Amino acid sequence: MAFVGLCDCNNFFVSCERVFRPDLEHKPVMVLSNNDGCIVARSNEVKALGIKMGTPLYQVRDLVKRHNISVFSSNYQLYGDMSARVMNILRQTAPGIEVYSIDEAFLNLEEMPVGKLQPFARELSARIRREVGIPVSIGISPTKTLAKIASKLCKQYPALKGGCLMYRTQDVEKVLARFPVGDVWGIGRRSRAKLEMLGVASALDFYNMKSAQVYNMFTVTGLRTWKELHGEPCIGFEDVQPDRQTVCISRSFAKEMTTVEELDAAISTFTGKVAEKLRKAHLCAEQMSVFILTNRFREDAPQNYQMKTTLFEVATDDTLEMSERAAQCLRQIFRPGYAYKKAGVLCTRLVPKRGVQASMLDTLDRNKRASLMDTIDAINKLEGNYTVRLASQGEMDQFSARAMTSRRFTTRWDEIMEVKI
């Protein structure tokens, strides 16, 4: 039997903050989204208070005060760096890894003998906790779907010490009986509703369905999940990374914007970021949309939502070309007299860079521009983001309000830890 592991960082953003604030261990902590709007990470103590993921901060102000909850603005520079540290250790230890999100990675453990798996998981978990300071849960099972469930078990049972091997049929069935079907990886909200109507509540109920019925109701995707629960691997090591269909950067502003100049700076910044993302993924966009909207929560102010979509003759990833076009779009949709709260740039119809169709009428020397973009990306990578940028471009951070941000302890020299001695 071949095994696969899932390493999931526990309450990741909260854990990152606690590394530099050990005094917050065992105390309620939560992290807010960009602009301090909603709760995006909760410590176990906050979960125990019944505060749900995604709740707007203003709805729980009382609880925050009463329980003395520590609240942080999101510090993505810090979280990104801490994530890279965890992933590096996984890469050093596991024969193969597949990063699934900022706080999760699958481990390819095909060649490891069964007897070694449980100690491997525990030691790895302890090592990451000791060396990076982040607590993780490692689940190991014959399939990715079961590994996800096994990792959740670690969180429920501290006695597992961050590592759980689950593969015997009787063990799997015992666990599935207590696992809600809606929490199974791959079961979406719609499927859950359908299942509930059938009286299928636990993962075991789903597991006990006939495969033909699963196929009829949920097609091949549902059947895949069902088979994975039965220990038959259906999701291979690269299957989960679908081709990107869109690249989008959007932000709500801390302060509403009323002039086209202010919005220009934002749109230019977002476009630069989108173009950079495209280049990183070796993609070009055939279509780009620029959108601006007013604050829909403000009933006293006039509302406006505008979007302009534009096509490129030749699919592009060029910051200059895209920014110029984005600025034109903005001018077509901007209306004076409105207070804009949010804006964004969305690229669709993405094609691989190597497959871009040339055009006879192309006015750009694409090779020359590509090497300019490469140079800019290289300098920014070496000297820090935004070292080289368009004059109209700002920094992403300037558009959001983050009042309770911790320091960027690991990415800025002037923000490193301070030790009073």
User: What one-character DSSP code corresponds to residue 56?
Assistant: B
The residues near 263 (Cβ < 8 Å, ≥ 6 apart) are 257, 292, 330, 334, 340, 343
Spatial separation of the C-alpha atoms in residues 136 and 150, rounded to whole Å: 12
- Smallest separation, CB 421 to other proteins (Å): 4
88 binds other proteins (CB under 8 A): yes
Considering only residues 89 to 118 of the shown chain, the ones binding other proteins according to CB under 8 A are 89
319 binds other proteins (CB under 8 A): no
**In terms of CB distance, is 132 or 330 closer to other proteins?**
132
Smallest CA-to-CA distance from 317 within 400, 249, 373 is with 373
Spatial separation of the C-alpha atoms in residues 273 and 248, rounded to whole Å: 9
382 binds other proteins (CB under 8 A): no
Q: What is the DSSP string of 337-386?
A: T--EEEEEEEEEEEEEGGGPPP-TT--S-HHHHHHHHHHHHHHHHHH-TT
Pairing of the two strands 70-72 and 96-101:
unpaired
Size of the site for other proteins (CB under 8 A): 20
**Pair 333, 260: CB distance under 8 Å:** no
Considering only residues 124 to 183 of the shown chain, the ones binding other proteins according to CB under 8 A are 127, 130-133
Q: Where are the beta strands (DSSP E) in 53-148?
A: 70-72, 96-101, 104-108, 136-141
- Letters for 34-73 (x = contact with other proteins by CB under 8 A, - = none) are ----------------------------------------
368 binds other proteins (CB under 8 A): no
**In terms of CB distance, is 17 or 321 closer to other proteins?**
17
Pairing of the two strands 136-141 and 247-257:
unpaired
**In terms of CB distance, is 22 or 115 closer to other proteins?**
22
**In terms of CB distance, is 159 or 419 closer to other proteins?**
419
- Smallest separation, CB 397 to other proteins (Å): 22
420 binds other proteins (CB under 8 A): yes
**In terms of CB distance, is 127 or 155 closer to other proteins?**
127
- Smallest separation, CB 417 to other proteins (Å): 4
The residues near 297 (Cβ < 8 Å, ≥ 6 apart) are none
**In terms of CB distance, is 18 or 148 closer to other proteins?**
18
Binding site for other proteins (CB under 8 A): 22-23, 85-86, 88-89, 127, 130-133, 409-410, 413, 416-421
